[in-house]
Structure 1
Amino acid sequence: MGAYPQQFFPQLNATFVVYPGLSARDIPANGPRFLDNRSFDGPIPVIVDEAVTAVLRNTSVRSFVEGSGRTDVYDYPAEAVRQAVANALLHRDYSPYFRGAPVQITLFADRLVVANPGGLFGAVTEEDLGGDGVTSTRNSVLARLLQDVRQPETGRMVSENRASGIPTMLRELSLVGSPPPEFDSRITRFRVTMPRDALLGDETMTWIAGLGQQGLTPTQHIALAEMHAGRPVTDGTMRNLGLAAPRAANELSDLITRGLVVRIGERGHARYLLAPETPEPSPAASESSAEELVWRALADGSELSRRDLQERTGVTWTRVLRVLRSLEQQGKIIATAPVRSPLRRYRRR
């Protein structure tokens, strides 16, 4: 709660690094090693505000006009980022062994990673996270303090201390059609990874509409999108979207009844996959659809990066790359900078 705790414990802070590629080793030739690199000092409320601002400043934003106003949608919802950072600072291990390790916030081209020293505390497991009332606090006194301390920018309490942080994160991500985060707990550290790809892009929504099923819920849309992407869904996946256990089971059972999904394994260990007869677009049709979306996105004469095109079209990162290569080979588009330049953009000829 001091003005500058790092005077005494220099590493009890948060660091933030933005890499240009998919890993720390993916550095463009003659390009920058980091797109942004900073550390956040001060008390916890200040660190949370500054870290969230830095993440949002380094991510794309899409604007939608609704009525007389405008809604900005970031790659990662601000509230989801806030909860991830606040949880990392609240639940990290502050014992002497870990006082040399900061909370690490790392932004890659395809994901945001928030990691803190010390794994899950108590009897909580990764599968429990996001469940109703699931909590176990390593730093109980700090948790009580932070529920009464306000953040300087927003005026909100840093922590509710009501086991609501991860459920809030899951809800905010599901509202924008993003896949649920991945949790990885080890003895020495806990890590949250938020994928950047939106699950419910145009291609996926077109595929779901083509199934001809009426009355599907938003969470069933996300479950189908996960399976469409080749990832099995479990009861835990549905709970991570904010559903209570009975509702999660009912929604998955409904997909089975509709003939869209099959279950493998017994309850408690079951995985759900698309039924073999569920129509899948052919690779050629998928590529054709993706190419058309990218081509339309460039119709107004703008110069767009791969990230811009991914955001505008909802097409996956790798498919955007394939489409751009194809359009370049056909002579339909030109690039404005060398292959590995962070300034590379694309426009129609």
Structure 2
Amino acid sequence: MPFPRPCVPEILGASQLVVELGARRGLLRHRAGVRAVDGVEISIAEGETFGIVGESGCGKTTLARTLLGLQRESAGEVRLEGRVVSGLDPRAARRARDAIQYVHQDPGAALDPWWRVGATLAEGLAIHGVGDRAEQQARIAGMLRAVGLDAALADRYPHELSGGQQRRIGLARILLLRPKVVILDEPTAGLDLSVQAAVLRLLRDLRAQFGLTYVFISHDLSVVRRVCDRVAVMYLGRVVEEGSAATLFAEPRHPYTRALIAAAPHLDGRESGPSLPGDPPSLRAVPPGCRFHPRCAHAAPSCATSEPVREVAAADHAVACLRWRVLA
């Protein structure tokens, strides 16, 4: 089960969440799919920044799309503000979860190149029936200022904006809909360090100004360490470790988490540790026992036969590893 959060209410959570992709069911033939998300348990507190990390293909984006309602869950439960919102088709799920919005990894690709920025921003307001044209324009101008842009940028086309400006437009676009939860998919990818810092400061300020909760998906562990309150580490569709960012980075318990942290670049010039050997196996050929054991330097024979379960390692820190006590 997810950690109880007695001081701050849960705003978004999932229990035993399963997402199967590629399954085909017919009268005479059934083709099994792959479990891109397999038994995930998370509980995100209102107002926090919750990080999701892991290698490409570990299920981060599929989990985010499922929480958003774009991908239907195969089993399990999704909760939003205390209400169960799972078990719906994608269109109904998006209506039930309109308090959740998503900022694309490539904001430029999400902007229509033939539309001026103002028209793109007004489209969302019009779809949701927000005000007349005058009210929409006033809200757009105010939101552009809130994300640190001149209101005159509403008359520009996407190709006339820098990468940092496009990210700010992407934020303005979803904040106009007044969400409560914002899913950020690699929000600093492809930006130089100075622009990254500006975007992260903006995210911090917007969270305070609008009372937002962030789900922060990133490969950049240095950024995750700096901005996230809690972090979940995913491997082959499962959360293998979760805890407060301070505890998880200071005392990682799972060998996979340790390897990710060791291999991450250091801004102070220190050399990174060795990369993980090999690539994650295919989801169609998930190893028995611990999914990480073929790549784990600390694996024991039991790791190939026994599946680890989630255990509490400390307050607000859980790990799914058979040998975490030995390695501590």
* Larger strand fraction of residues: 2
Instruction: Tell whether the structures are fold-level matches, with TM greater than 0.5.
Output: no
Q: Which has the higher contact order (CA 8 A, sep 6+)?
A: 2
